Amino acid sequence: MLMWLVPVSVFCIVGAIALGGGPVTIESQSIPRQILGLCATLVAYLVVWGALQMLLVRLLPLGGSIAIASVLSIPMFPFIAVVGFRVVGVRTHRGAEQHHTSAG
C-alpha cells in the first residue's frame, strides 16, 4: 500500500504543473464537474501507472519498477487528463485563453 504514495505524489506535482501552470484551458461552467474531472484524471493516471508498474516488476526489482513507471507515466499525463476530463463532460484545450480586445 505504501508504494501507491509515489504515483499519487507524482500526480499532484505533475497535475499542478500541467493543469495549473501550463497553457491548458478547462471549459466548464460547473466547478463540481471540474473536481470530478480531476478525480477521474487521478483514477486514469493510477490505472496507467499500475499497468506500467506491473509490466516492469517482472523485469526490474520493485524499487526500479516504481521509479521507471513513474518516469514513463509523466509524458502521458496530458493525454490522461484529456480522457479524465472528457469522461465527465469537461473540455480541455491546449493554449492560453484568448482575450478579445476591441481596437477602437
- Could you read off the pLDDT of 20-40 as tens digits, one per residue? 776 667 777 788 888 898 899
Percent of the chain at pLDDT > 70 equals 87
Q: What is the pLDDT of residue 68?
A: 92
User: Tell me, what amino acid is at 82?
Assistant: V
| Low-confidence residues in the chain, pLDDT < 70 | 1, 22-24, 95-104
Q: How far apart are CA 64 and CA 44, in angstroms?
A: 22
Q: Is 23 helix (H, G, I), strand (E, B) or coil?
A: coil
Q: What is the pLDDT of residue 100?
A: 45
> Who contacts 89 (Cβ-Cβ below 8 Å, separation ≥6)?
28, 33
Query: Which residue's entry shows cell 480531476?
Result: 38
Bridge partners, residue 24, by sequence: 94
Q: What is the pLDDT of residue 97?
A: 56
Q: What is the pLDDT of residue 104?
A: 47
pTM: 0.82
